[in-house]
Amino acid sequence: MNRRIVPVTEPLDLARTARGVGTWGAAPWLRVDATGVWVAQRTAAGPGTIRLMHEGNELQATAWGPGAPDLLARAERLAGLHDDPSAVAPHHAVVAAALKRARGVRMASVDQVYPTLIATILAQKVTGKESQAATMRLARRWGEPAPGPRDDLWLFPAPRALAQTPVAAFHPLGVERRRAQVLIEAATRIGRLEACVTMRGAQAMAHLQKLPGIGPWTAGVVVGEALGDPDAVPVGDYHLPNVVAFNLAGEPRADDARMLALLAPYAGQRGRVVRLLKSGGQPPPKWGPRSEARDIRGF
């Protein structure tokens, strides 16, 4: 067990910051509760778990496992202390109000593509309930418990192991052939995909989309959540254009083009504004039947 203390000189809402890392997909490697923020990752030195706690003017970090030193070195970024929430100039009253309610909420960076990419692929074209169930099944079937005192933190299988898994083996997890093939291909090429950690914005988005099966929605989620890019917008989301249009223009329905036009004044911070509206704005009027979860395991 290793420890580190980092001074905190700006407002920090650690719990809400950490929850932003798992906005769209399930994260079996992340837990946020009264004991702190817990993050488990694979590192070059091996698996590790870090617990972050914010008390007074200190960020207290404790880590376990072979990857502990690496995680401790990245404590500031895992807590979003490198981020500047004040970079948003609110052009709408609803954004200004959401900013006030989100005081201390930052965009954290896990500086690693693989776990977020796996969870986001599993969230493609299915309901949240379906994707979360499949994500947890995958982690517990082929992954491993994270180091440390918790028994509910799980690491996804190592990329090499996932890349060698037959497509048919995903069916009992509730994952059809298309998503299974994208998962395998992503695990196979993860070394090249992780290069986007050193890239910025559009370059990182374009790099991820070189992989067949990774479109602007998946790339937007990964670059926003895993890399903490404040401008990343998941284009192609079923609900998001309506949320943005209703809050910024009072329009109950919109498409991606309209959403991006409304977000144009926030260039450089569009992803942050999207998060603010999702968490602090008003939901648009409901319309049409809800998507039904389907369990394909029995088919």
**75 and 146 share a domain?**
no
Parent domain of 216? 85-287
How many angstroms separate the CA atoms of 21 and 193, rounded?
A: 19
For residue 168, what pLDDT is reported?
97
Residue 121 and residue 248 in one domain? yes
Q: Are residues 164 and 47 in the same domain?
A: no
End of a domain among 55, 84, 113? 84
SS3 125: coil
Q: What is the pLDDT of residue 298?
A: 58
**Residue ending a domain, choose from 59, 84, 109:** 84
DSSP bridge pairs for 157: none
- Report if residue 148 sits inside a domain: yes
- DSSP category for residue 113: S
Give the three-state DSSP class for 84.
coil
* Distance spanning both ends of the chain, measured CA to CA: 46
- Do 42 and 173 fall within a single domain? no
For 163-201, what is each residue's pLDDT tens digit? 999 999 999 999 999 999 999 999 999 999 999 999 988
pLDDT at residue 211 greater than cutoff 90: yes
Provide the pLDDT for residue 25: 63
Measured distance CA(4)–CA(76) in Å, rounded: 11
Count structural domains, the chain.
Answer: 2
Identify whether residues 38 and 120 lie together within a single domain.
no
27: in domain: yes
Q: Last residue of some domain: 56, 84, 112?
A: 84
Which pLDDT score is estimated for 251?
A: 97
Distance CA 208, CA 218 (A): 9
Q: Are 154 and 143 in contact (CB under 8 A)?
A: yes
Find residue 144's DSSP bridge partners: 155
Do 35 and 109 have their domain in common? no
Amino acid, single-letter form, for residue 152 = D
Whether the Cβ atoms of residue 214 and residue 186 lie closer than 8 Å to each other: yes
Within a domain: 295 = no
What CATH number should be reported for the domain holding residue 80?
Answer: 3.30.310.20
- For the stretch 85-127, pLDDT in tens is 999 999 999 999 999 999 999 999 999 999 999 999 999 988 8
Query: Which tokens is 114 given?
Result: 């693989």
- Assess if residue 299 is contained within a domain: no
Judgement on whether residues 27 and 154 belong to the same structural domain of the protein: no
pTM to 2 decimal places: 0.92
pLDDT in tens, 262-272: 999 999 999 99
Residue percentage of the chain with pLDDT more than 70: 95
Return all residues near 172 (Cβ < 8 A) that are at least 6 apart.
Answer: 297
In a domain, 59, yes or no: yes
19 and 91 share one domain: no
Q: Answer yes or no: is 75 within a domain.
A: yes
pLDDT at 232: 97
Residue 270 is assigned to a structural domain of this protein: yes
Whose CA is closest to 138, among 158, 156, 151, 113? 156
CATH of the domain at 144: 1.10.340.30
pLDDT of residue 265: 98
The answer to whether residues 177 and 49 belong to one domain is: no
Residue with tokens 């200004």: 96
Q: CB–CB of 151/145 below 8 Å?
A: yes
> Is residue 292 pLDDT above 80, yes or no?
no
Does 292 fall in a domain? no
Mean pLDDT of the chain, nearest integer: 94
42 close to 158: Cβ distance less than 8 angstroms: yes
Q: Are residues 119 and 185 in the same domain?
A: yes
| 295 has a pLDDT exceeding 70 | no
Handedness of CA 223, 224, 225, 228 (dihedral sign): positive
- Indicate if 69 and 180 belong to the same structural domain: no
| Cα angle value 145/148/151 (rounded, 5°) | 45
What band does 288 get if pLDDT is binned at 50, 70 and 90?
Answer: low
Report whether 104 contacts 13 (CB < 8 A). Answer: yes
Shared-domain flag, residues 77 and 95: no
pLDDT digits (tens, 9 = 90+) for 31-67: 999 999 999 999 999 999 999 999 999 999 999 999 9
Confidence of residue 290 (pLDDT cuts 50, 70, 90): low
